Structure 1
Amino acid sequence: MFRKFLKRLPKEDGRSAMDWEEYYMELTLHKWTQSEKVLLEELVSPVPELFRDVAKQRIASKIGELSIQKQEELITRSTLIEGYILATPKRDHTYLRKKLQENNIDTTPYEPYFLQSKDSYRENWQEKYKKKKS
């Protein structure tokens, strides 16, 4: 609950992280084909059920954002996998790789995205935390 509260706080641009997620979801809702929806459901299945809806929204919004940047008419499997990788922290990549293998999807073309993905925590988070406390 606390994380959801933090995601609702406005950033420098006046919009919160959840506002942007909802924006990209609404903007790209029509781009999802049934097969991509099924694949997304399959990939988020290892996420505990309690957190699955929140994770799915976050991941789908990142996929939508990428789709807009690529100016795609429909969300492709490649964009879906790329967005999923970039939206998940590195600690979850083991589960993602396993799910992709179960679905007979080769991860070789996506290796650069695994390297781009965020770590579990922001860079210099300890320094920023100390500055806020003082």
Structure 2
Amino acid sequence: MREPLPADMFDELCPSSLNPIRFGDKWAALVIRCLEQGPRRFSELRVPLSRVTPKVLTRSLRSLERDGLIKRTVHAGSTPHVEYELTPLGRSMLRPLAAACAWTAEHWDELLDAREAYDNAARQTG
């Protein structure tokens, strides 16, 4: 039995939410992080990715599958289910993704300050 994904894995104070470096779509990097420890079912992914609608998560999973980063496996049986897991190509994304997360954590305050300054300037001119 594998450990469940924590619901607060990507809470609002998580550096991932500020990461300006994108891997695929907006949610792709978070999906990759969720699959780092092994295969997961859609319902398991929904726990830490609760801010993502099911439709958008499905679109992100399909895009990652199309790019060869994840594999979708349908398990038949008395309770059929689908699991998603990283392919070797997807696993190769873990190191650059970790570097991007570390950079974001290191520059967290600067990113927040820059966004706040931008938003304040936009409100004054708009």
Q: TM-score, normalised by structure 2?
A: 0.31
Does 1 or 2 have the higher relative contact order (CA < 8 Å, sep 6+)? 2
* Higher relative helix content: 1
Query: Which of structures 1 and 2 has the bigger CA Rg?
Result: 2
Q: TM-score, normalised by structure 1?
A: 0.30
